[in-house]
């Protein structure tokens, strides 16, 4: 069973300094049909203009994952972390009992294109935590594990039974993912064009998948795909 979320049906806001598309209800965008999927609550597709950014603001009780598609993002938080994350890098924060952070595009001439992902934790009140993982040199044509509950196989451990996989695909590449019984998947095409079990998905499109055992991906053109395997 598959339900398609088309890119051009997402919520959209242009603030001048920020151009953003919301896969799920967020901020001023509200659609009761798209409140999230399983523990996945937010996928925001953001472009932050040069020299602009998000001022210091608080979060709590949320698993926050940022993936940089192009450009650079300068991060500072109340845990003492200060870092510029670049294309191909993943940043993770467990907001837990509370954290404040700011995000700023340090470039004078290039926008930064990123995906910000929120996953609801399995319990509230955890100690805030920070981690990073680079997938800049991840090989094409296969799925790479980014997050998991246990941190297996070098992935980032998060407070939810949610595996996040990334695939970088060249045209003609194929990749397969097996869904265990009772598991669900959300697939987001960050860039490019792929076919998922024969259904063509383009840049920004997504698919909600339940009651399927195998997911077959084939790239029509170079692509980056995020696959969430959820309980």
* pLDDT (tens digit per residue) in 109-120: 999 999 999 999
Instruction: Give dist(CA 34, CA 26) in Å, integer.
Output: 10
Q: Is 203 in contact with 189 (CB distance < 8 Å)?
A: yes
Instruction: Give dist(CA 9, CA 45) in Å, integer.
Output: 13
Q: What are phi and psi of 60, to 5 degrees?
A: -155, 155
Predicted local distance difference test score (pLDDT) of residue 97:
98
The pLDDT confidence band at residue 58, using thresholds 50, 70 and 90, is very high
Q: Is 94 in contact with 158 (CB distance < 8 Å)?
A: yes
The pLDDT confidence band at residue 77, using thresholds 50, 70 and 90, is very high
Query: Position of tokens 């290039």?
Result: 110
Q: Which of 223, 202, 187, 229 is nearest to 9 (CA)?
A: 202
Instruction: Give dist(CA 162, CA 133) in Å, integer.
Output: 16
Predicted local distance difference test score (pLDDT) of residue 15:
95
| Residue 37 CA from chain centroid, whole number | 13
Instruction: Give dist(CA 109, CA 51) in Å, integer.
Output: 8
Q: Which of 141, 178, 156, 140 is nearest to 67 (CA)?
A: 156
Predicted local distance difference test score (pLDDT) of residue 36:
98
The pLDDT confidence band at residue 200, using thresholds 50, 70 and 90, is very high
Predicted local distance difference test score (pLDDT) of residue 193:
98
Predicted local distance difference test score (pLDDT) of residue 199:
97
Is the pTM higher than 0.95? The answer reads yes
Instruction: Give dist(CA 168, CA 191) in Å, integer.
Output: 9
CA distance between the termini of the chain: 16
Query: Position of tokens 């996989």?
Result: 165
Predicted local distance difference test score (pLDDT) of residue 7:
98
Q: Which of 2, 207, 228 is nearest to 118 (CA)?
A: 228
Token code pair at residue 92: 């993770």
């Amino acid at each position: 069973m598959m339900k398609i979320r088309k890119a051009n049906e997402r919520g959209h806001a242009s603030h001048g300094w920020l151009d953003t598309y919301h896969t799920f209800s967020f901020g001023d965008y509200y659609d009761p049909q798209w409140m999230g999927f399983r523990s996945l609550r937010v996928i925001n597709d953001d472009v932050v203009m040069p020299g602009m950014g998000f001022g210091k603001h608080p979060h709590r009780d949320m698993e926050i994952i940022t993936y940089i598609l192009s450009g650079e993002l300068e991060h500072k938080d109340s845990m003492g972390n200060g870092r510029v994350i670049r294309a191909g890098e993943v940043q993770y924060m467990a907001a837990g009992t509370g954290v404040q952070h700011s995000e700023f595009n340090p470039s004078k001439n290039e926008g930064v294109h990123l995906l910000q992902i929120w996953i609801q934790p399995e319990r509230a009140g955890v100690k805030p935590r920070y981690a990073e993982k680079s997938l800049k040199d991840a090989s094409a044509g296969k799925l790479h594990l980014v997050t998991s509950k246990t941190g297996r196989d070098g992935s980032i451990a998060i407070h939810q039974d949610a595996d996040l996989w990334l695939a970088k695909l060249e045209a003609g590449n194929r990749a397969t993912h097996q869904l265990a019984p009772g598991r669900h998947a959300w697939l987001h095409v960050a860039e490019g064009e792929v076919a998922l079990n024969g259904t063509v998905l383009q840049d920004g499109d997504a698919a909600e998948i339940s009651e399927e055992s195998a997911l077959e991906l084939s790239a029509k053109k170079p692509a980056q795909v995020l696959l969430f395997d959820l309980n």
